[in-house]
Structure 1
């Protein structure tokens, strides 16, 4: 029904419990999801991720028949300076998320590009160095689980919120094996140009999130903002991108009852462009 490279993030239906969201997504005709595991944003995955919880989530996903492309998680502010106990707690959370990523058959775990907020904890260079080091370490851990590590950068609400910071982080991650997730809505919300973003991240994009935006607002349905998806997807194809796309429709311009129809409409529109 939709292009096989186009999936739907469970975050699109975060108001539903996981089993219901999976049924909704499958019922719309999608074959693939990104699994939201972001505390406070999407509670489809418990924050206290015990082995029993991992098994329960993996079983629900398997029962749905949907493939998982990535797990979208968070292990805390990557530019925070941690003491030994805090770092140990982060390691345990990372291991749990990687266990879930492997258990669901996902290709990658996605982590953010720093804290919620744009102000440095130390200073710009030190914070970027710390974020890159934490992501590189997480990528090394991921390899042990047979999965990849990606980071969503730029992200309008996070430390690497604009083209400059996203490029500086990408430079620090060169050669690390950490992939980059491009999100149209965050780029547009930051007042930046997706085509310029692609020029600066040529050959580095591992996955693409799709949602519309205007400057300052990331929460719009596709077609209700300023994102030029046709130009962006053409540029991705011209640059040799062969990865997948996911509708991450954390939108606030439709009601919950309207979400399934809005997701189907967006999927048909994007399918015609891929």
Structure 2
């Protein structure tokens, strides 16, 4: 893809409630999710959790092509601080699949090894060194498949807080996925982080956040999954993240990669099936108002 005068916009199944966490919520069919992406004018997507879309490259390519969607990359949350061999195996399988289906980036998160994102143990120094070393080895292995690897600071993982992010940046050469929502919920201003480390931005996830609920999550008064169910993430421009400043800054700093609309959603039994589509439509409309999106002409 080429950038031309605008920005490259992609989507992700998590914006439709498709998540790897057990019991997260109702899961819509791939045909519905990919079809609504295409109807909204989106031309690329991240992969979604393992098993949601076909694992074999041929069927995956065919499914995406049927909706005129390219593959940007995929999210992989694995423990990096314990079993390095298991993490490398999982990452190798994911990288091979992504590369064969036309993906560009492996979005890596330092999972705790526990289900969900509500609890995380503290790491000792040897575990932290293992985490950093494993991330570096995964990045090298993914590069053999032609993929870039970014580390995604994520709520409920071993790299969440501002202190952990700065420590990782000091100890590792792996760039970051700048996720505006997870950063804010974790206590980091995404604009200030981008300004401190513009050269380390390797990928961007766009979310807007209700600050009141983010405060509740940080204070431990509500779990992350419950907060998502209560509407932690709002359509772009309707929350408390200064996304406009962040987008303008990273563009001026030379970032020309993807901007992925990746707004975590959980669909309960009473949730409307059209809510994800409507929220994504509003986000796209708002984004179009601050910068010209460029979504077409795949190479």
* TM-score category (smaller protein): 0.7 to 0.9
**Which residue of the partner structure matches residue 194 of structure 2?**
198
| Structure 2 counterparts to residues 127-166 of structure 1, below 5 A | 127-153=127-153, 155-166=154-165
Q: TM-score, normalized by length of structure 2?
A: 0.76
Q: In structure 1, how many angstroms separate the alpha carbons of the residues matched to 2:128 and 2:195? A: 21
2:63 pairs with one of 55, 60, 85: 60
CA RMSD in angstroms, aligned pairs only: 2.3
Q: In structure 2, how many angstroms separate the alpha carbons of the residues matched to 1:56 and 1:179? A: 31
Q: In structure 1, how many angstroms separate the alpha carbons of the residues matched to 2:172 and 2:195? A: 17
Q: Is the 8 A contact 1:11 1:35 kept in 2?
A: no
- SS of the counterpart of 1:36? coil
**Residues 88/193 of structure 1: CA separation in 2 closer, same or farther (3 Å cut):** closer
Runs of 5+ consecutive residues of structure 1 not aligned to the other structure: none
**Which residue of the partner structure matches residue 232 of structure 1?**
246
Q: Deviations over 1:24-78 (max 9, x none)?
A: 111111111111125xxxx5247xx5xxx4443333223322111111123x211
Q: Is the 8 A contact 2:150 2:202 kept in 1?
A: yes
**Which residue of the partner structure matches residue 295 of structure 2?**
none
Q: Is the 8 A contact 1:167 1:201 kept in 2?
A: no
Whether 2:46 is the aligned partner of 1:29: answer no
**Which residue of the partner structure matches residue 259 of structure 1?**
276
**Which residue of the partner structure matches residue 210 of structure 1?**
206
Between the two structures, name the one with larger relative contact order (CA 8 Å, sep ≥ 6).
2
Q: In structure 1, how many angstroms separate the alpha carbons of the residues matched to 2:89 and 2:126? A: 25
**Residues 212/255 of structure 1: CA separation in 2 closer, same or farther (3 Å cut):** farther
Runs of 5+ consecutive residues of structure 2 not aligned to the other structure: 1-5, 19-26, 218-226, 292-299
Q: TM-score, normalized by length of structure 1?
A: 0.82
Aligned length: 251
